[in-house]
Structure 1
Amino acid sequence: MAKIKIDDKEYETDDLSSDAKDNLTNMRLCDERLTQIRRDAAITQTARNAYAAALKSALPKDA
């Protein structure tokens, strides 16, 4: 039996209604997606920084 804690109160997941279980599942999926989005944003920011560095090195040196 797994327990979850919400607002400082513990609940047995087996004792939750099917509606509550569905909401818990959906909340966990959202948490996983947010983690993935943060990871993707970090990768994208790293790539952007590399492109900015490449742009700077490609600019004319006399300007």
Structure 2
Amino acid sequence: MSTIIIDDIAYDLTALSEAAKQQLTNVQAADAEIQRLQAQLAIATTARAAYARALKNALPAAVSH
């Protein structure tokens, strides 16, 4: 018997209605998309930091006034 726990309640997957199974599939797809987007954000954040370092290195030396 496969179960899923939601709000600390265990549910038998085979006993779920088709509507509940579809919503579970939707939640799982949304979770996967959130993970994918978080990975993309981490990549973009790392790239931005590298670009900012490269920009700083490419700027002329600061002149004191």
TM-score normalized with structure 1 length: 0.94
Structure 2 unmatched ranges of 5 or more = none
Alignment of 1:4 onto 2:1: no
Say which SS state the counterpart of residue 52 (structure 1) adopts: helix
CA RMSD, 1 decimal: 0.9
Structure 1 unmatched ranges of 5 or more = none
**Larger-gyration structure (1/2):** 2
Structure 2 match to 1:58 = 58
TM-score normalized with structure 2 length: 0.91
Aligned-pair distance for 1:62? 3.6
Aligned-pair distance for 1:60? 0.3
- Rate the CA distance shift 1:6–1:62 in 2: closer, same or farther, 3 A: closer
Q: Percent identity?
A: 44
Distance in 2 (alpha carbons) for counterparts of 1:14 and 1:28: 17
Aligned-pair distance for 1:7? 1.6
